[in-house]
């Protein structure tokens, strides 16, 4: 190597006990040997574990430094604020009393007392102003010294195969490795801050981080910053998928994404529908509705892919999006916010009626809401995907509020198709991922959901329902709806979740009761503030500017959701919970008897799940994580 540098030492002061290195004692983590040509970025993987006796029991960050074993060069992060990578300095000792000093901020004299004392030992100091770095554009020194792809056999990169923040595997213990740092003597030190950021991504990159997999020019003349470039994805596009069978008014509709070399963004699978509303004429033939009919007929939900799927989508969207999203973007799905259920004067009902006014055909585009599509990782290529879409009953998805209207309406499906986002990856990156999959499967962390219903017959004052019998969920959402609306009734909204004079609801799981203190509700007397606040608390929106815009008055009148967290912290954390097995049951009591026709209890449970796909595309689902 130029400058005579053949190795450098990685130090962790105040973290590990010092050891004997040559004729000195120092807290050395590792000795890194340099192999390669000058002006090249050098990579090496360290797969074997190292064990050191630590000095502290708990740390917030790992302090690290690097130095060559001989007085040729040294690179140090000296930011006094502790912000990683915002201030780097480098020194090169050409002679015993002469030093060349490089500072990433271009500040002289140095801010660090340590550097000032160090430079005082030299008779001649040459200062090089290198204002090259933007704040937080580089990592801590330890992350530089760790090679690209460290322990890559254990995962497909830290950020994994991602678009935006799509994480394919999060098992590496360090943060993203965006650049590599090598001390190469005088030439290497001079070019260190200038060339490392530009060269490393062109050679290796950082795992398989698509949108963040960039070539950086973090320092241009005058401090200008060039935006990052995407160099790992060849192209992306939405593929149109037609049904496998002829479109009829009878479901299911089958769609198949055939295996090829493209990756699939499951969070961008859209269902396209071209619909109209029809009614039978005097001869029994189906004809388009007239303008008069459109004033009293409106669609509530326009598609279904399972028995309780409309409730899953409605609960998820209602408890996730603020009103500005519900009034704007969700209109593409046929959603217009209702303020008063089962009211002909409701603005949302009128807006849905207007869509089909005069027998018009309407088009809708809605993202499919399924568990694997609710995480942001790309699905591996060479996998077949089969989607089966079921249509709900017409009496469920339509509503007419005209008195004594006995007309039997139907939703006619003119066209149905899927749009799926596909990603074409660089061939070299695909090859690297294939090699990784030979050692370790791709893992997908999924929030699994199960939705169930329980019929409560009329006249009852209490109900005990064993809803889950294996793994205890991390959160449950409970709502009550009239049985007639649940089974489909043109005059009733299936999403009118009323309290039905409930007095208390509790979840029994793992020998514990949630909540511990009974509610003691009386909606007729406006005694229901606790479950209203608990709903916002369980969804992480209490005491913040975030909201799904359900008011206290609405909570009583059609939006009564009991959201009960079962995690150890009662918070919706992103990490996994410890495995807990057992029966999960619900006990509800009522101040007055269940009304005529009965009530359906809708229960949405959320669980931790891990899905693994190996090199041969074998899929393993494990819901029992510990």
Number of H helices, E strands in the chain: 12, 28
Q: Within 10 Å of residue 555's Cβ, how many Cβ atoms?
A: 20
Using only the alpha carbons of the chain, give its radius of gyration: 31
Q: Within 10 Å of residue 73's Cβ, how many Cβ atoms?
A: 26
Residue tagged 């950021």 (tokens): 197
More confident residue, 373 or 624: 373
Backbone phi, then psi, for 540, in 5-degree steps?
A: 70, 25
**How far apart are alpha carbons 611 and 235 in whole angstroms?**
27
Does 3 have pLDDT greater than 60? no
Which DSSP string corresponds to 401-454? Answer: -STT-----EEEEEEEEEEEEEEEEPHHHHHHHHHHHTTS-EEEEEEEEEEEEE
Query: What's the pLDDT tens digit per position in 326-370?
Result: 889 999 998 888 888 988 888 888 888 888 888 889 999 999 988
Three-state DSSP state, 145: helix
Query: What's the pLDDT tens digit per position in 254-313?
Result: 999 887 889 999 899 999 999 988 877 656 666 565 444 333 333 323 223 457 889 999
Maximum Cα–Cα distance across the chain: 107
In the CATH scheme, what architecture does the domain 232-439 have? Answer: Alpha-Beta Complex (3.90)
**What does the pLDDT read at residue 366?**
92
More confident residue, 90 or 146: 90
Question: Is-cis flag, bond preceding 252, omega within 30?
Answer: yes
More confident residue, 403 or 321: 321
Q: How far is CA 163 from CA 211, 380, 539, 590, in A?
A: 5, 13, 26, 49
**What does the pLDDT read at residue 93?**
63
Q: Within 10 Å of residue 105's Cβ, how many Cβ atoms?
A: 18
Q: Structure tokens of 7?
A: 């190795």
Return the bridge partners of 420, or none. Answer: 239, 269
Query: What's the pLDDT tens digit per position in 226-258?
Result: 565 566 788 899 999 999 988 888 878 899 988
Q: Which residues contact 121 (CB under 8 A, 6 or more apart)?
A: none
Residue tagged 């090829």 (tokens): 260
**How far apart are alpha carbons 556 and 532 in whole angstroms?**
9
Arithmetic mean of pLDDT over the chain:
73
Q: Structure tokens of 256?
A: 């198949």
Nearest to 525 by CA among 556, 563, 559, 562: 556
**What does the pLDDT read at residue 136?**
31
Q: Alpha carbon 361 to chain centroid distance?
A: 35
Host H or E run for residue 556 = helix 552-556
**How far apart are alpha carbons 180 and 510 in whole angstroms?**
49
Nearest to 275 by CA among 410, 418, 390: 410
Strands 73-77 and 619-622: unpaired
Return the bridge partners of 128, or none. Answer: 102
**How far apart are alpha carbons 565 and 507 in whole angstroms?**
10
Return the bridge partners of 601, or none. Answer: 454, 480
Q: Alpha carbon 511 to chain centroid distance?
A: 32
**What does the pLDDT read at residue 588?**
96
Nearest to 592 by CA among 525, 492, 535: 525
Q: Within 10 Å of residue 616's Cβ, how many Cβ atoms?
A: 9
**What does the pLDDT read at residue 577?**
81
Tell me where in the chain the CATH 2.60.120.380 domain(s) lie: 442-626
3-state helix, strand, coil in the chain (%, to 5): 20, 30, 50
Tell me where in the chain the CATH 3.90.249.10 domain(s) lie: 232-439
Residue tagged 């990683």 (tokens): 84
With a pLDDT cut of 70, the percent of the chain lying above it is 64
**How far apart are alpha carbons 278 and 290 in whole angstroms?**
9
Q: Structure tokens of 214?
A: 């960039």
**What does the pLDDT read at residue 76?**
56
Q: Structure tokens of 538?
A: 């369980």
CATH class of 442-626: mainly beta
Query: What's the pLDDT tens digit per position in 443-469?
Result: 888 888 999 999 999 999 999 999 998
Query: What's the pLDDT tens digit per position in 502-526?
Result: 999 999 998 899 999 999 999 999 9
| CA dihedral for 188, 193, 198, 202, sign (positive or negative) | positive
**Burial label, 439 (beta-carbon count in 10 A; 0-12, 13-18, 19+):** exposed
């Amino acid at each position: 190597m130029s400058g005579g540098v053949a190795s450098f030492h990685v130090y962790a002061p105040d973290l590990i006990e010092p050891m004997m290195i040559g004729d000195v004692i120092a807290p050395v983590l590792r000795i890194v040997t340099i192999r390669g040509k000058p002006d090249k970025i050098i990579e090496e993987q360290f797969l074997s574990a190292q064990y050191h006796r630590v000095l502290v029991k708990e740390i917030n960050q790992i302090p690290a430094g690097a130095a060559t074993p001989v007085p040729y060069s040294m690179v140090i992060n000296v930011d006094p604020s502790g912000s990683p990578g915002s201030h780097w300095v480098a020194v090169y000792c050409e002679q015993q009393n002469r030093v060349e000093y490089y500072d990433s901020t271009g500040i002289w004299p140095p801010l660090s007392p340590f550097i000032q004392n160090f430079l005082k030992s030299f008779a001649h100091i040459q200062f090089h102003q290198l204002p090259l770095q933007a704040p937080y554009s580089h990592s801590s020194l330890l992350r530089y010294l760790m090679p690209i792809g460290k322990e890559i056999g254990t995962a497909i990169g830290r950020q994994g195969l991602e678009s935006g923040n799509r994480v394919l595997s999060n098992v590496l213990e360090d943060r993203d490795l965006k650049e590599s740092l090598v001390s190469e003597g005088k030439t290497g030190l001079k070019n260190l801050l200038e060339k490392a950021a530009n060269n490393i991504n062109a050679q290796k990159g950082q795992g398989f981080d698509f949108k963040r997999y960039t070539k950086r020019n973090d320092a241009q003349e005058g401090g200008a910053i060039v935006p990052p470039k995407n160099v790992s994805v060849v192209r992306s596009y939405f593929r149109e998928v037609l049904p496998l069978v002829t479109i009829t008014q009878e479901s299911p509709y089958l769609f198949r994404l055939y295996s090829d070399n493209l990756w699939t963004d499951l969070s961008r699978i859209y269902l396209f529908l071209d619909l109209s509303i029809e009614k039978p004429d005097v001869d029994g033939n189906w004809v388009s509705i007239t303008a008069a009919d459109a004033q009293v007929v409106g669609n509530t939900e326009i598609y279904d892919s399972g028995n309780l799927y409309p409730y899953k989508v409605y609960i998820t969207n209602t408890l996730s999006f603020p009103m500005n999203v519900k009034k704007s973007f969700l209109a593409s799905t046929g959603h217009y916010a209702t303020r008063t259920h089962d009211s002909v004067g409701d603005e949302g009902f009128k807006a849905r009626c207007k869509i089909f006014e005069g027998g018009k055909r309407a088009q809708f585009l809605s993202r499919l809401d399924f568990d694997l599509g609710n995480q942001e990782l790309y699905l591996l290529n060479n996998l077949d995907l089969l989607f089966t879409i079921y249509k709900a009953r017409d009496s469920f998805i339509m509503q007419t509020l005209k008195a004594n209207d006995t007309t039997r309406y139907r939703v006619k499906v003119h066209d149905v198709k899927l749009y799926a986002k596909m990603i074409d990856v660089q061939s070299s990156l695909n090859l690297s991922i294939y090699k990784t999959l030979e050692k370790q499967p791709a893992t997908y962390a999924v929030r699994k959901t199960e939705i169930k219903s329980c019929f409560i017959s009329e006249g009852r004052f209490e109900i005990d329902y064993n809803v889950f019998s294996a793994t205890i969920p991390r959160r449950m959402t409970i709502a009550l709806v009239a049985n007639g609306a649940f089974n489909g009734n043109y005059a009733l909204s299936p999403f009118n979740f009323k309290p039905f004079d409930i007095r208390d609801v509790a979840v029994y799981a793992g020998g514990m009761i949630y909540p511990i203190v009974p509610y003691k509700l009386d909606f007729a007397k406006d005694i229901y503030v606790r479950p209203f606040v608990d709903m916002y608390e369980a969804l992480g929106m209490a005491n913040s500017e975030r909201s799904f815009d359900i008011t206290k008055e609405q909570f009583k009148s059609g939006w009564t959701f009991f959201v009960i967290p079962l995690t150890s912290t009662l918070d919706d954390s992103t990490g996994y919970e410890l495995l807990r097995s057992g029966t999960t049951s619900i006990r509800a009591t009522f101040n007055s008897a269940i009304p005529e026709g009965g009530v359906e209890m809708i229960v949405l449970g959320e669980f931790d799940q891990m899905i693994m796909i190996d090199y041969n595309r074998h899929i393993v689902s494990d819901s029992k994580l510990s």
